[in-house]
Structure 1
Amino acid sequence: MEIVPGIHMIEGIIAHCYLVDDAELVLIDTGMPHKTKKIIRYITDELQRSPSDLKTIILTHCDIDHIGNALELRSLTGAKIAAHPYDAEIIAGKKMRKTPKGGMKILFKLLGSFLQVKPFPVDRLINEGDTLSGLAVLHMPGHTSGSIALYDSKRNVLFIGDTLGFRDGVVQGPSKNVTLDMEQANQSVEKLKDLNFTVMLSGHGAPVRSDASAKVQEYIAQIKNRKATR
């Protein structure tokens, strides 16, 4: 589904990923495992492009539902994988993942092997202030230590990963049960207060197609109000 000209959302039941259709294709996140064919099919059928046109895969963070097809896609297309150094260590199997809490912990146990991804090294480490394929990198720790957002200034689009979502018509923070440090996640969101973007695309929930900056400002105000009333 094309959200704005040149940016496509590949919807997932659990998590979405996004294709930036420029001279070279960029994939932002890769969804749950076993979705490689769906992504390749979108490239060939919807975009009328070759899989080899995919040159870059950017992972907003290390969760399985975002990195699930990255290794296979790299093998099939030759694309280079980029991630923040903190989460790259987890993706490579050098550090342990966070353990979900509450009901999510039970769900992860039930899904078992379906959620297993073979560790792999990324090809490029990216951090705050970097620009990759025209996308400015913002380090947004909290949901994970190495969570990032990507800002497309040409199209006024923000790819926010799991730092924020859009549900029931309002911007919401990440689930506490799968977030490493909720306080830090809220602090990261405050980085967005001076950023101008029309569209916000997250890993879960609906896209924010208009007035995204204003909606995020409302969420930031809610965070501040909660702090003030503690």
Structure 2
Amino acid sequence: MNNYPVVIDDAWFTVSQIDDETFVISEYGHWEKVHSYLLMGSSKAALIDTGLGIDQIKRMTDQLTDLPIVVLTTHVHADHIGSHGQFDRIYVHEAEEDWLVNGIQKLSIEQIRKDISRDITRLVPDTFDPKTYKPYQGQPTGLLQDGDVIELGDRSLKVYHTPGHSPGHIALFDSSRGYLFTGDLLYDETPIYAFYPTTDPVDLVNSLERISGLTGVSRIFGGHNTIGLEPELLQEVQAAVRQLRERDVVRHGTGIHRFKGFSVQF
């Protein structure tokens, strides 16, 4: 689950160190085992996603850096934007600006509250009440597009638009270290979801194919489960893409498809 040393073991958050300027902030007390990533450059820091919002992630980032922080949103699902309201500079892909501002249509607050509050194994703060929990909504500071580069000062992140799990999902590549941050496009242990009405199995497979062709990847950091997957997984992804297309199952309703190291659910 965690291959990196723990530097903060908080009541709710677990902070692990990937390198001197890269940290992962994990929420292991929730069934989704969500990870957010803090990357420091010489002039600013990037926080990739802000977690569930059950507790305030800024308590962790304040202990890790004094740099100004820009929040980069892999996608606008509740478990990745929970603490967005604690930061001044928030960026999202242009295809999900409306979701960030107005919420996801046809996704009921009752369902969100049910998902956010079930199977919790750690003590939650007094400020968390599942009966009144609401996903963050607000206007982003700016919009991201495919190919954008976020400069942190002696470190940069390239944006890859990787739709499928959601319309404006992005992956981010730190070429200076070979770190590929894949959000909910690629992780292990539990299926990658593309069965909701707001998902697109064809787009997901195309996005998986795209990132599988990236060169210079040293580690893959997903939004859930194991931290730091081996780059050889991308070869498995390439093979899986071929199999899914050959079997003609890239559409809603075909169920879970398992491969070596990951699975997808359509």
Residue type of the alignment partner of 2:186: L
Contact 2:195 2:201 in 1 (8 A): no
SS in structure 1 opposite 2:158? Answer: strand
Deviation, 1:177, is 4.3
Instruction: Count how many residue pairs are aligned between Structure 1 and Structure 2.
Output: 209
Corresponding residue for 2:244? Answer: 226
Deviation digits for residues 43-62 of structure 1 (CA, Å, limit 9, x no counterpart)? 343x2x33xx2331100000
Task: Trace 1:52-201 onto structure 2 (pairs within 5 A).
Answer: 53-71=67-85, 73-74=86-87, 79-93=88-102, 96-97=104-105, 99=107, 107-108=114-115, 113=131, 115-133=133-151, 134-167=156-189, 174-178=192-196, 180-196=199-215, 197-201=217-221
List gaps (5 residues or longer) in structure 2: 1-15, 119-129, 249-266
Overall identity of the aligned pairs, in %: 25
Tell me how far apart the structure 1 counterparts of residues 48 and 165 of structure 2 sit (CA, whole Å). 17
Deviation, 1:115, is 4.8
Tell me how far apart the structure 2 counterparts of residues 156 and 184 of structure 1 sit (CA, whole Å). 24
CA RMSD, 1 decimal: 2.5
Contact 2:74 2:171 in 1 (8 A): yes
Deviation, 1:89, is 1.0
Deviation, 1:66, is 0.5
SS in structure 1 opposite 2:236? Answer: helix
Tell me how far apart the structure 2 counterparts of residues 192 and 19 of structure 1 sit (CA, whole Å). 21
Tell me how far apart the structure 2 counterparts of residues 157 and 109 of structure 1 sit (CA, whole Å). 29
Between 58-67 and 189-198, report the one with greater CA deviation.
189-198
Matched, 1:9 2:54: no
Q: Label 1:155 to 1:110 Cα distance change in 2 as closer, same or farther (>3 A).
A: closer
Tell me how far apart the structure 2 counterparts of residues 149 and 69 of structure 1 sit (CA, whole Å). 20
Tell me how far apart the structure 2 counterparts of residues 207 and 156 of structure 1 sit (CA, whole Å). 15
Q: Label 1:191 to 1:69 Cα distance change in 2 as closer, same or farther (>3 A).
A: same
Residue type of the alignment partner of 1:69: S
SS in structure 1 opposite 2:50? Answer: coil
Deviation, 1:201, is 0.9
Q: Label 1:125 to 1:132 Cα distance change in 2 as closer, same or farther (>3 A).
A: same
Deviation, 1:98, is 5.8
How does the TM-score come out when normalised to structure 2? 0.71
Corresponding residue for 2:260? Answer: none
Deviation, 1:28, is 0.5
Tell me how far apart the structure 1 counterparts of residues 19 and 191 of structure 2 sit (CA, whole Å). 24
Deviation, 1:218, is 0.6
Corresponding residue for 1:26? Answer: 46
Contact 2:209 2:237 in 1 (8 A): no
Q: Label 1:148 to 1:217 Cα distance change in 2 as closer, same or farther (>3 A).
A: same
List gaps (5 residues or longer) in structure 1: none
Q: Label 1:70 to 1:182 Cα distance change in 2 as closer, same or farther (>3 A).
A: same
Corresponding residue for 1:206? Answer: 226
Contact 1:33 1:114 in 2 (8 A): no
Q: Label 1:125 to 1:114 Cα distance change in 2 as closer, same or farther (>3 A).
A: same
